Amino acid sequence: MADSTAALSIRGVTKEFATPEGGVVRALDDVSLEIDEGSFTVLLGPSGCGKTTLLRSIAGLETPDAGEIRLRGERIDDEPVWKRRVNTVFQSYALFPHMTVAQNIAFGLEMDRVPKAEIAKAVESSLAMVRLEGLGGRRPSQLSGGQQQRVALARALAKKPEVLLLDEPLSALDLKLRRGMQMELKRLQRETSITFVLVTHDQEEAMAMADTVAVFDSGRIAQVGEPRDVYLRPRTRFVADFIGEANVLPATFLSDRADVDALGVLEADLLSGTEGLTSGQPGFVAMRPENILWSRDEQGQARVVDVTFVGGDLHIDVLVGEHPCAIRTSSHVAEPPRVGEALRLEFPAGSVRWVTD
């Protein structure tokens, strides 16, 4: 049975595509995910990981080879696109250039044969929702990129979908505008209480907007959770490395300690994520650059190879044995380390995370 609190229930979805060489690539491999009603969920991962294929499967633009997709408990993966109570905002905006802003917003409602008076009200309220009042008579070419994106959002929201799907909608915008639109999307989601599902490869974008992040790796979901939880408690080497910045070193678990390549033995109080491990088990430890403490010590484990001033931060790159390692600290440190110096590295309790391959 699907979760009664879920807007979308995705169960065991698999999708394969034929390659030009005659082979097969599995874009989705037995993917299951519950997306809560009224939540903002982000599907995050690198290109080719399967996140867009899942979004297109929800929209009805791809047909899964196996599994099922349910919207509020009703199966939709076998329904045609126009019968699904979802709407999609594409990366390209897909606005009709020969129509005005108001006509673009009204188009879907007209196709649904909504009465003209209701369409007029919906267009007006949608323009107000995205803060484009008074611009209904303009053509898309007369708008900025950010304004065009707002029109695409208004058009999708005008039909009051149960789920709004967003396929990398901000990737065409410059950095400053993209950050502004991130806040706009969060505001719209809160005000409408519509379930938003957004695809992106941008980790910062996912962290800024999501209630829940689903991290994809090679057609599978590697981890699902709140942004803070995924960042602080990654379960795999891939998630630790993909979300933010992490130093990942080979290690062996020893009862309640970890023997870390080039760092030596780290005691139990420094470690997290070791539940269920057996002594002698190989794996990796992940350390966030901002959690590493350093001091000058000729017998230290690390050798400085580069020091870069970046505004309020100081980026210190070191070698631990043969392993590169990044340290991020305040640029206000009285005496930054110099290239070639030896440093002793220390870690706060619980800041070293055990991860699998």
Taken in order of first residue, the domains within the chain and their CATH numbers are: 6-232 (3.40.50.300), 247-355 (2.40.50.140)
> What does R_g of the chain's alpha carbons equal in angstroms?
24
**Integer CA distances (angstroms), 312 to 8, 315, 317, in order:** 42, 10, 16
Q: Which residues contact 63 (CB under 8 A, 6 or more apart)?
A: 15, 57, 77
The pLDDT score that the predictor gives to residue 2 is 47
Per-residue tokens: 349: 């309790």
- pLDDT digit string (tens) for 30-71? 999 999 999 999 999 999 999 999 999 999 999 999 999 999
- pLDDT digit string (tens) for 144-200? 888 898 899 999 999 899 999 999 988 878 888 888 889 989 999 999 999 999 999
The pLDDT score that the predictor gives to residue 90 is 87
User: Please, which pLDDT band fits residue 240 given cuts at 50, 70 and 90?
Assistant: very high
Sheet of strand 195-200, all strands in order from the earlier edge strand to the far edge: 86-89, 163-167, 195-200, 40-44, 212-217, 220-225
93: left (phi over 0), alpha (psi -120 to 50) or beta: left
Residue 334 has pLDDT above 90, yes or no: no
Query: Could you tell me if 151 and 139 are in contact, meaning their C-beta atoms sit under 8 angstroms apart?
Result: no
User: Please, which pLDDT band fits residue 229 given cuts at 50, 70 and 90?
Assistant: very high
Residue 286 has pLDDT above 90, yes or no: yes
The pLDDT score that the predictor gives to residue 181 is 87
Question: Which has the closest alpha carbon to 51: 75, 27, 30?
Answer: 27
Per-residue tokens: 231: 């960042």
Mean pLDDT of the chain: 92
- pLDDT digit string (tens) for 260-282? 988 899 999 999 999 999 999 99
User: Please, which pLDDT band fits residue 1 given cuts at 50, 70 and 90?
Assistant: very low
Q: Which residues contact 190 (CB under 8 A, 6 or more apart)?
A: none
The pLDDT score that the predictor gives to residue 223 is 97
CA 146, 151, 152, 157 dihedral sign is: positive
Amino acid letter at 19?
Answer: T
* 10 phi and psi angles, rounded to 5 deg: -110, 120
pTM reported for the whole predicted model: 0.90
Amino acid letter at 174?
Answer: D
The pLDDT score that the predictor gives to residue 12 is 97
What percent of the chain shows pLDDT beyond 70? 99
Q: How far apart are CA 55 and CA 312, in angstroms?
A: 38
Per-residue tokens: 122: 């919906």
